[in-house]
Amino acid sequence: MAGPGNIPPSASDTGYRSLIGPLLLPTWAVIGIFMVLPVLLMAVYSFLTKEFRGGVIWDFTLAAYDQFFVTRGLFGDEPAQIEWTYINIFWRSIWQAGLATILCLLIGFPTAWFIATRPAQTRGLWLFLITIPYWVNLLIRTVSLKFLIRDNGPLNESLMAIGLIDGPLPLVNTNLAVQLGLFYSYLPFMVLPIYAAVERYNFALSEAAADLYASRWATLREIVLPVVKPGIIAGCILVFVPSLGAFLAPDLLGGAKTFMIGSLIDEQFKGSQGDWPFGAAVAMILMTLVLIVLLLYARAQTRGATR
Amino acid sequence: MKGVRYYPGFLPLTILCLVVLYAPLAVVAVYSFNGSASITEWGGFSLRWYTDVFTGPEAVRFGQAAWNSLTIALIAATTATVIATAAALAMLRAGPFRGRQASFALINLPLMVPEIVIAVATLIFFSTIGLTTGYLTILLAHITFCIPFAYLPIAARLEGVEGTYEQAARDLYATRAQAFRLILLPLLMPGVISGWLLAFIISLDDFIITNFVKGAGMETLPTAIFGSVKQGIKPNIMAISTLMLLVSVLFVTAAYLINRKGRQAPATPGKTT
């Protein structure tokens, strides 16, 4: 079959041009049918009427969104007001995810910097050490964390044994435990993009700043941070987005007071108490929120690229 | 004076970072060898909870869950790897084409939509088409979200293999299938293997989506563990956790070593990746 007529038209084409359709068909079919279609269907469901015992009736209504945003009193006969219950759950989730992101940044940046400034031979090993926990089952990591910080767990026992505290620190079922759990779940997502940015950083810039009598920290603030900002923003998004919809950390480490979006959605699909249209609506609102964050990120990136 | 790369306090923070990441896992691993039935008191070194995992009252339940988890991960990772390899060939070996951007977005979609949203959407979808939730629905969901994880290492590797090898083979009258099987696939293998391993781990790891589409009576290891943990952390859970930890570490270490070996072998002469 080979011959002058068969010479590929470009260097990147080695005869696969005519196969684009068949090669991509499985991807389009699988992700299209089992992800795109379900998400579209979920959007439709959020406008349907709920059936008791779970499931839906195919009558279109705005009831689910109305339930989310509007209250008309206990018996539904009062003037419409803003319903704060669910907005507050979202607000708390944003707050928790935000604090976890800041915590990840405060520890993740120095770690990424430290690793990126190691000699090339040991850098891979450090990175490997940071990434291993990510590949360990998230459920197991969360359970392990709960085991460690529970009231009579090893952390409290050792702190009491050395006399640092008199009684156990009540960590489990607090906001702090949830933030710690989210931090623990997604820390590698912060380290890796910042590491990639610092690795490309031209240290001659720092040297120039030092020659001009800038202090170490002034150099960090004025030179390093602006240059590696894309990596920092990418890390923050990679931590913030999954934290926002997290289920395991708030469910296992938190209590009723730390109820987050993930648990709210989960509740709507469990047993006969469920409300599928409302669950679909909450999921739609969460997805919209995440898409806004991602779009802002994409816009900031393209603006940064054209500058 | 120390160089511009040095910042005081960054080493302690790195060590803190590693301690935070590893301490809970280390503590659970140590306590899994606890001889006492209480999770608080230390009763000497013992393997009783490991024996309990395999022969105890919950052995059948966890055994069945482990079997489901392993077979689902095996099938899902293999299917996703085949699909992702085909996609990578089209994306990187066929030049520019219409729909390339859209295909790229589609492949990465499972990474961008929050897991809980995928879980809800998938449950609604299966319920609407009338497919009873169970083994098959878990498997279909896993294949879908494993695709981007398999794709990333394969595409990264394929980018590093220049087209000249296949072109040389084609010039020497190899068919397209021969050029793929004898030239490209062996060069691509490190990427394919690490893609498969990562997809396998991701499938084994999943809780949220599985929990939504598993149906009643069907368990994978994470959902079985979650069910147990809801009633309190028992010592046998720590033994199971330690075993799973070991499997994850072995797999990731294998992926890391294969990748490094692949990078040392000159896939692209005169060009370091």
Q: How far apart are the first and last CA of chain B?
A: 34
The Cα–Cα gap between A13 and A11 comes to 5
| Cβ within 8 Å of B, A 192-251 | 203, 206-207, 209-210, 216, 219-220, 241-242, 244-245, 247-248
Nearest CA in chain A to B179: A14
Is residue A269 within 8 A of residue A247, CB to CB? The reply is no
Query: What distance in Å separates the CA atoms of residue A224 and residue B3, rounded to the nearest whole number?
Result: 15
CB-based burial label for B131 (10 Å; 0-12, 13-18, 19+): middle
The domain segmentation of chain A, as residue ranges, is 98-268
Output the pLDDT for position A42. 95
Residue A143 Cα, gap to closest chain B Cα (Å): 8
CA dihedral B153, B155, B156, B159 (to 10 degrees): 160
The secondary structure element, H or E, covering residue A57 is strand A56-57
- A window 67-86, beta carbon within 8 A of B: none
Mean pLDDT in runs of 10 for chain A (307 residues)?
44 71 93 95 92 80 87 79 88 92 94 91 88 87 89 81 79 86 90 90 88 88 88 90 90 81 90 85 94 87 66
Residue of A nearest to B115 (CA): A245
Cα–Cα distance for residue pair A48/A55, rounded to 1 Å: 10
A31/B89 CB distance under 8 A: no
Residue A9: the pLDDT is: 44
Closest Cβ–Cβ partner in A23, A31, A262 for B147? A31
Angle between helices B10-31 and B235-264 (to 10 degrees): 130
pLDDT (tens digit per residue) in B57-99: 888 889 999 999 999 999 999 999 999 999 999 999 888 888 8
Distance CA A120, CA B156 (A): 20
Nearest-neighbour CA in chain B from A83: distance (Å): 23
Instruction: Give the one of B22, B87, B179 whose C-beta lies nearest to A27's C-beta.
Output: B87
Distance CA A301, CA A233 (A): 10
Q: Which helix (H) or strand (E) holds A243?
A: helix A225-244
What's residue A35's pLDDT?
94
The two structure tokens encoding residue A205: 């810039």
Report percent pLDDT > 90 for chain B: 40
Q: How many C-beta atoms lie closer than 10 Å to residue B247's C-beta?
A: 16
Beta bridge partners of B92: none
Residue with tokens 């989960």: A266
B28 interaction partners in chain A (CB closer than 8 Å): 140, 143-144, 147-148
pLDDT of residue A14: 62
CA–CA separation, A205 vs A51, rounded Å?
64
- B94 contacts chain A (CB < 8 A): yes
SS3 (DSSP) at A49: strand
Nearest alpha carbon to residue B122 among A104, A42, A306, A133: A42
- How far apart (Å, rounded) are the C-alpha atoms in residues A207 and A216? 10
Residue in B2, B21, B78, B226 to test binding to A, most A beta-carbons within 10 Å:
B21
CB contact A289 to B (< 8 Å): no
Spatial separation of the C-alpha atoms in residues A300 and B82, rounded to whole Å: 35
Tell me the nearest-neighbour CA distance from B160 into chain A, angstroms. 12
Q: Inform me whether the pLDDT recorded for B233 exceeds 90.
A: no
Helix (H) or strand (E) holding A145: helix A138-149
Q: What is residue B45's three-state secondary structure?
A: strand
- Provide the pLDDT for residue B273: 38
Longest dimension (CA), chain B: 72
Distance CA B93, CA B80 (A): 19
How far is it, in rounded angstroms, from Cα B229 to Cα B244? 15
> So what's the pLDDT on residue A136?
86
How far out from the chain centre does Cα B129 lie? 29
Poorest-pLDDT segment among A11-15, B132-136, B147-151, B173-177:
A11-15
Cα(A39)–Cα(A90) distance, integer angstroms = 21
Q: What angle do CA A44, A51, A273 make, to 5 degrees?
A: 110
How far is residue A253's CA from residue B194's CA, in Å, rounded to a whole number? 33
Considering only the C-alpha atoms of chain A, give the largest distance between any 2 of them, rounded to a whole number of Å. Answer: 85
Hey, are the CB atoms on B10 and A114 less than 8 Å from each other? yes
Taking the C-alpha atoms of residue B151 and residue B70, their distance in angstroms, rounded to an integer, is: 21
SS percent in chain B: helix, strand, coil, step 5: 75, 0, 25
| pLDDT tens for each residue of B88-134 | 999 998 888 888 999 999 999 988 899 999 999 999 999 999 888 89
Q: Which of B6, B16, B113 to mutate to test the interface with A (most CBs of A within 10 A)?
A: B113
Whole-complex ipTM: 0.86
Assessment of whether the complete model's pTM goes beyond 0.90: no
Mean pLDDT, residues B1-9 taken together: 78
Q: Which of residues 14-73 of A touch B (CB under 8 A)?
A: 14-17, 19-20, 22-24, 26-28, 30-32, 34-39, 41-42, 45, 55
Q: How far is it, in rounded angstroms, from Cα B122 to Cα A34?
A: 7
Q: Residues A98-268: name the CATH superfamily.
A: MetI-like (1.10.3720.10)
SS3 A208: helix
Q: How many CB atoms lie within 10 A of CB A197?
A: 22
Query: Nearest Cα to A185, choosing from A260, A243, A229, A132?
Result: A243
CA distance B196 to chain A (A): 14
Measured distance CA(A35)–CA(B242) in Å, rounded: 33
pLDDT in the model for residue A6: 47
Helical segments of B94-134, H only: 100-112, 115-129
- Residue B20 confidence (pLDDT) above 70: yes
Say which of B95, B115, B245 has its CB closest to residue A13.
B95
Is the Cβ–Cβ distance between B104 and A234 less than 8 Å? no
Bridge partners of A82, per DSSP, are: A70
**A144, A287, A302, best to mutate vs chain B, most B CBs in 10 Å:** A144
Residue B188 Cα, gap to closest chain A Cα (Å): 15
- Interface membership of A139 toward B (CB under 8 Å): yes
Interface of B with A in 15-54 (CB under 8 A): 16-18, 20-25, 27-28, 31, 39-40
Query: What confidence score (pLDDT) does residue B262 get?
Result: 64
Interface membership of B156 toward A (CB under 8 Å) = no
